[in-house]
Amino acid sequence: MVAIPALAVEDLSVEFRTRSGVVKVLDHVGFTVEKGETVALVGESGSGKSVTAFAVMGILDAAGKVTSGRAMFGGSDLLAQSERDLAELRGRELSMIFQNPRTALNPIRRVGQQIADVLVRHGGATRPDAPREAIKMLKKVRIPDPERRAEAYPFELSGGMCQRIMIAIALACRPALLIADEPTTGLDVTTQAVIMDLIGELGRDSGMATIFITHDLGLAAEYCDRIVVMHAGHIVESAPSRALFANARHPYSAKLLAATPGETASLASLVSIPGGLPDLRRADLPACRYSGRCERLTDACAQPLPHKTVGERHDVACWNPL
Amino acid sequence: MLKLLLSRLATAIPSIAGVIVVTFMLTRLLPGDPAAYFAGLAASPQAIAEVRTKLGLDKSLPEQFVGYIVDLAHGNLGNSLSTGQPVVAEIVNRLPASAELTLVALFLAVGIAIPLGVLAAVKQGTWIDHLCRIVTTAGVSLPVFFTGLLMAYVFYYLLQIAPAPTGRLDAFLSAPTDITGFYLIDSILTGNLETFRGALSQLALPAISMAIFSLAPLARMTRGSMLSVLNSDFVRTARASGLAPRTVVFTYAFRNAVLPVITTLGMVFSFLLGANVLVETVFAWPGIGLYAVNALLTSDYAPVQGFVLAMAVLYIALNLLIDLLYGLVDPRVRLDS
């Protein structure tokens, strides 16, 4: 029997209408996240990682339009839901943590109050109980002296502390899915590890599925079960973390790995990927958006992208994989 | 909060000292010789000199300044040369008229501008946004004396639905018992509805002309500030947490967006103090603005001095209030003090 995934994104396309033309930001993107699983979305800036998350959450900018696809979550399609129903789910069933925790919190509201707002909104606590429940959440994300910190404003706390508050807000109602959008960017390395451990641990305790958006392959390998590699709005490869590191099949994934500092690779042996992302406003985008940068380009690459299964839960979208 | 209050009060003291010096110098440097003016056109040089001695204008500037300070310390702003009345009494008598006009205009402006700005930002690109743009453009480009004259012309002269622009109350109505000095409040307190209606109809045109003028910067600032806050990270967090749209817009966005609006409010209030002079002249409103204009025209320096001093103190007090309001809304300001 196959378990129903926590989230199944199928055939998702998103366009942004801008003054200089329509940008095809996501093109038929699909991936699944099992219950209790942690999946990394990796890729360089502009590859569509955050847009995927925003589309699933239903918080795209007004300029962004979902043009095709489904996002099945708990038996219903998130993309087909009304804003009203989605708002009910957000914060309760699916939550999100953002980068830059200092700006992601309301600067003039006490942090305990901000946690309480979410609890009260989703029935996690009544107004009078909310402050106490908020303090419990602070304790859970291991903030020392939670009673006093609940009264603090974000500007009185460090970046790492603010990110813990963000986690407390996101996990207050025990969501089934957490999307963490570069949660450790801007934090120092030791704080990074603490935050990642905290997310992993709290997720495991409640059987929560986690999508972890990052451009740090090393961090993804360390904390995630599977890795989904994105490039210019396409998913080029998805594989269990170990399989990807041992045996990357897409030329882009291989290049990404070669550009990632590991235990053995010295800084000098790191290779940068030539070229840049194609202009996604072009009307004549090639079928494979990596073809302009690819060393393994063949005539076959002009055909629509294939979806080859090359191993256990290991898919690659390439005509000429490694 | 008390510390904030004290530190702001301390910074107000040098400002007041500066204002005292400037008002003294300014009136002494104004063109026109008050002694010659009051001695009359046909006065002989001896007569003018006599008047000058009587007014103390023959003394040296430092001596005059010391005298001025001593008087000021006793709460004495001198007497008006044309009416002979003490300036303090005149200002205290006339201040409620100006204050009532200014405050009604300000409430009107805030009551329209803030909802308009918020709605324009929340529903960006819709008709209400365009309305906001039209109103702000019109408000900035119409000077207040022009709006005042235009309104008096249209509503009094053409349509005849407004009373004649001749002060606070029609000649046939008697002023309400003086409690607060505000006719609207006093007439309500004494249950005199007829006077209330009369006062309101006299107040409407000047208050609306001043409101139109002050509405523009407030609405524009509210809209701009709301737009930038609505695009900020923490509003995205609030939406991603599923908070109700009302909570997102008011509790999260508006409370943050209101900070620059408060600053603008202080500025607008000071514009209004200046606009008072013009509007009171157009509508023959017996406030301190009209008093100052008349004094200025007759080189009657004591009232001018008193007026400028009163305005400056009012302005400083207002800025103090704005600072405190800021501290109330924004915890970061409290920390800085």
**What is the residue-averaged pLDDT of chain B?**
86
At residue B35, the pLDDT reads: 75
pLDDT mean over B94-108: 91
Interface of A with B (CB under 8 A): 57, 59, 86-92, 95-96, 98, 100, 103-109, 117-118, 121-122, 153, 155-156, 166, 169-170
Are A107 and B332 a contacting pair at CB < 8 A?
yes
Helix (H, G, I), strand (E, B) or coil at B83: coil
pLDDT mean over B180-203: 85
- Cross-chain CB nearest to A106 (options B252, B329, B335): B252
Q: Residue type for A111, please?
A: V
Per residue of chain A (322 residues), what is the pLDDT tens digit? 456 888 999 999 999 998 888 999 999 999 999 988 999 999 888 899 999 999 999 998 888 899 999 999 988 899 999 988 999 899 999 999 998 888 999 999 999 999 999 999 998 788 899 999 999 999 988 899 999 999 999 999 998 899 999 999 998 888 999 999 998 887 888 888 888 888 888 888 888 999 999 988 888 988 999 999 999 999 999 999 999 988 889 999 998 888 888 766 677 778 888 888 888 888 888 888 988 888 888 888 888 888 888 888 899 999 988 8
A145-163 CB burial, b ≥16 within 10 A, e <16:
ebeebbebbbeebebbbbb
Q: How many CB pairs under 8 A join A and B?
A: 80
Give the span between the Cα atoms of B307 and A107, in whole angstroms. 42
Q: Do A42 and A49 touch, CB atoms closer than 8 A? A: yes
Are B241 and A169 a contacting pair at CB < 8 A?
yes
B236 touches chain A (CB under 8 A): yes
Which residues have a Cβ under 8 Å from the Cβ of B290 and sit 6 or more positions away?
B94, B277, B280, B281, B284
In DSSP terms, A211 is beta-bridged to A39, A179
B332 touches chain A (CB under 8 A): yes
Q: Per 3-state DSSP, what percentage of chain A is helix, strand, and coil (rounded to 5)?
A: 35, 25, 40
Q: Do B285 and B16 touch, CB atoms closer than 8 A? A: no
Does residue A252 sit within a domain? yes
Question: Could you give the ipTM of this predicted complex?
Answer: 0.88
Q: Chain B partners of A169 at a C-beta cutoff of 8 Å?
A: 237, 241
Does residue A83 sit within a domain? yes
At residue A1, the pLDDT reads: 44
At residue A90, the pLDDT reads: 92
Does residue A149 sit within a domain? no
Does residue A270 sit within a domain? yes
Give the span between the Cα atoms of B270 and B321, in whole angstroms. 13
pLDDT mean over B237-253: 92
Distances (CA, A) of B6 to B11, B12, B197: 9, 10, 43
Q: Residue type for A306, please?
A: P
In DSSP terms, A24 is beta-bridged to A15
Does residue A21 sit within a domain? yes
B33 touches chain A (CB under 8 A): no
Are B241 and A117 a contacting pair at CB < 8 A?
yes
Does residue A242 sit within a domain? yes
Residue B1 has pLDDT above 90, yes or no: no
DSSP state of A44: S
Query: Which of A117, A156, A174 best probes binding to B when mutated, by most B CB atoms within 10 angstroms?
Result: A117
Q: Do B97 and B205 touch, CB atoms closer than 8 A? A: no
Please give the angle made by the CA atoms of B252, B254 and B258, to the nearest 5 degrees.
130
- Which pair of structure tokens corresponds to residue A301? 């690459």
A310: containing domain? 7-101+177-316
Alpha carbon of B241: minimum distance to chain A alpha carbons (Å): 4
Neighbours of A139 (CB within 10 A): 15
Alpha carbon of B328: minimum distance to chain A alpha carbons (Å): 10
Tracing tokens 């194609």 back to the chain, one arrives at: A278
Are A121 and B243 a contacting pair at CB < 8 A?
yes
Q: List domains and CATH numbers for chain B.
A: 94-336 (1.10.3720.10)
At residue B248, the pLDDT reads: 92
B246 touches chain A (CB under 8 A): no
- Which pair of structure tokens corresponds to residue A49? 């990682």
Alpha helix ranges (H) inside chain B: 2-29, 34-39, 45-55, 61-73, 87-122, 127-141, 144-151, 183-189, 193-230, 233-240, 245-246, 255-282, 288-297, 301-329, 331-336
Does residue A298 sit within a domain? yes
Q: Residue type for B270, please?
A: S
- Look up the CATH number of the domain holding residue A195: 3.40.50.300
* Count of structural domains, chain A: 1
Does residue A161 sit within a domain? no
